[in-house]
Amino acid sequence: MKVQIIADFIFDHSIVEESLNFVDVQPWKYYFDGSSRKNGTRVGILIISPKNIPTKLKFQLDKLCYNNEAEYEALIARLEILLELGAKDVEIIGDSELVIKQLTKKYKCVK
């Protein structure tokens, strides 16, 4: 619920530009980090637009989870914000080797 409120706020207060036929030179950058402790799971993200405008978000999840789960929560669920902002080319940066190597298909999930 809190994530949707943040996404709505960013969407409602973002600068609207008329669509032009040009290519962005730089991709959006999406830094993510998740952390799980006894007192809760916290997620932090930093989004940098192609025009180098930073947006920082930090929040606590309603559920406790393992550190790897927190990293995935930080990455996957919050990519919705970028979709709402219209991002098409995104560079994802994180400190979780597991998440990054699964994204780049160097690791694969085995059941």
Residue-wise pLDDT tens digits, 13-25: 665 555 555 455 6
Counting residues of the chain whose pLDDT is more than 90, the rounded percentage is 0
Domain 2-13+24-103 adopts which CATH fold?
Nucleotidyltransferase; domain 5 (3.30.420)
Tokens of 76: 């996957």
Half-sphere exposure of 85 (CA within 13 A, CB side): 26
Q: Which residues contact 41 (CB under 8 A, 6 or more apart)?
A: 34, 35, 60, 61, 63, 64, 65, 69, 70, 73
Is pTM beyond 0.85? Reply is no
CB-CB contact of 107 with 101 (8 Å):
yes
Q: Which residues pair with 36 in a beta bridge?
A: 41
Q: Which pLDDT does position 12 carry in this prediction? A: 65
